[in-house]
Amino acid sequence: MSLPVRPEPKPGIMDIAAYVPGKSAAPAGVAKVHKLSSNENPLGASPKAVEAVRSVAASLEFYPDGAASRLREAIAEVHGLNPDNILCTNGSDEALGLLAQAYLQPGDEGVFTEHGFLVYRIYIQAAGAVPVVVKETEETADVDAILAAVTDRTRIVFLANPNNPTGTYVPFEEVRRLHAGLPKNVLLVLDAAYAEYVRRNDYETGIELVSSFDNVVMTRTFSKVYGLGGARIGWIYAPAHVIAALNRIRGPFNVNAAAIEAGVAAIRDRGHVEKSVAHNDQWLPWLTEKLTKLGLRVTPSIGNFILIHFPDERRSAALADEYLTARGYILRRVAGYGFPNALRMTIGTEEANRGVVAALSDFLKD
Ligand SMILES: *Cc1c(COP(=O)(O)O)cnc(C)c1O
């Protein structure tokens, strides 16, 4: 047997389709760019979080607290949780990756749904496990279909609730039924990245399930309603035995000093959260109505973004994307999510929202 002539990644690594983030640039000459491609808060971060980051700048030579204790305590206080069951991460992406690393080995299966968040597939494959993709019903995760896909090799089920890029959700009774149908050795990961935006009586994040069972965890992020995507702060609420496993494999200083201070300030600024949610409550239905009136189908969303479907080849998502980008409106192509003819739009500022509706109205007439 001849040796490879250079270091080779583990089997499967080069089969992974690398994550493609939302675009952020428009062509030269566009006066103003509205980035509506990554579900960022159009109001920005809390001014208190910005100030907190400024103050950290004076002492960057010091390592951060590796346990992020103050941040865990602030999160615990706001959500009424035990800080020992919280682990802070470099974005919730890191939490999802650590879970896959800790609980999946080659031959195992990780389950997620057809239009589910693409990061799940990446981390399942990176762990050498097999991604199992489950059909959805009406662009919504289907509990019966997920349960039917579980085998004796399944170790993790990832469910974004609400999901990105559809904005649809699974009511809590259905999440409960999903959990009840899973074997006890299968970890149910509830990714509640958009939970703060949800206004539905039949929705819950999963905190209660995590508190009651050994095989459920919830992940959360500061990237969306808190407007801190650039600071990379996420957290996981999990049973002690899961936290103990993740603490063994995470980077020792995985959440940096600026992120810790930004997070503590942001989560305590409830006024900024309320303002951000109120903005979404106003513009999510407005955009849905205006775009529907233009003849575009919009998937009913409870998040801070909408999925807009385009009618035909002459008025395709690709052409609409070009048209909008040329005018400074950067939306998100979602072909990789199984929607070749749709664009995802983050709910933006009033100016951006009105601008997109006007531009799409022109696009459809042209
Ligand atoms: C944006 C998003 C996240 C958050 O990712 P971060 O790493 O925390 O920035 C997680 N899950 C879903 C479904 C998302 O859309």
Q: For the chain, what are the domain ranges?
A: 13-45+271-365, 47-269
Q: The whole model's pTM is what?
A: 0.97
**Distance from C-alpha of 160 to C-alpha of 330, rounded to nearest angstrom:** 24
Q: Is the CB of 93 under 6 A from ligand 1?
A: yes
Residue 226 CA to ligand 1 center (angstroms) comes to: 12
Residue 192 CA to ligand 1 center (angstroms) comes to: 9
The confidence score (pLDDT) of residue 21 equals 82
Asked, as a colleague might, if the bond just before 162 is cis with ω within 30 of 0, I would say yes
The confidence score (pLDDT) of residue 26 equals 78
Q: Is the CB of 229 under 6 A from ligand 1?
A: yes
Residue 219 CA to ligand 1 center (angstroms) comes to: 9
Tell me the fold of 47-269: Aspartate Aminotransferase; domain 2 (3.40.640)
**Distance from C-alpha of 125 to C-alpha of 131, rounded to nearest angstrom:** 7
The confidence score (pLDDT) of residue 20 equals 84
For a substitution probing ligand 1, which of 19, 40, 92, 222 has the most ligand atoms within 8 Å of its CB?
Answer: 92
Q: Is the CB of 221 under 6 A from ligand 1?
A: yes
For a substitution probing ligand 1, which of 223, 334, 347 has the most ligand atoms within 8 Å of its CB?
Answer: 223
Which amino acid would we find at residue 105?
Q
Residue 22 CA to ligand 1 center (angstroms) comes to: 13
Look at residues 73, 56, 21 and name the one whose alpha carbon lies nearest to residue 264: 73
Residue 234 alpha carbon, nearest atom of ligand 1: 8
Q: Is the CB of 160 under 6 A from ligand 1?
A: yes
Report, as ranges of residue numbers, the positions in the chain whose pLDDT lies below 50. none
Can you tell me whether residue 138 is helix, strand or coil? coil
β-strand 187-191 against 154-160: which pairing, if any?
parallel
CATH number for the domain running over 13-45+271-365: 3.90.1150.10
The confidence score (pLDDT) of residue 27 equals 80
Q: Is the CB of 223 under 6 A from ligand 1?
A: yes
The confidence score (pLDDT) of residue 299 equals 98
Residue 342 region, left (φ>0) first, then alpha (ψ -120 to 50), else beta? Answer: beta
The confidence score (pLDDT) of residue 226 equals 98
Residue 72 CA to ligand 1 center (angstroms) comes to: 19
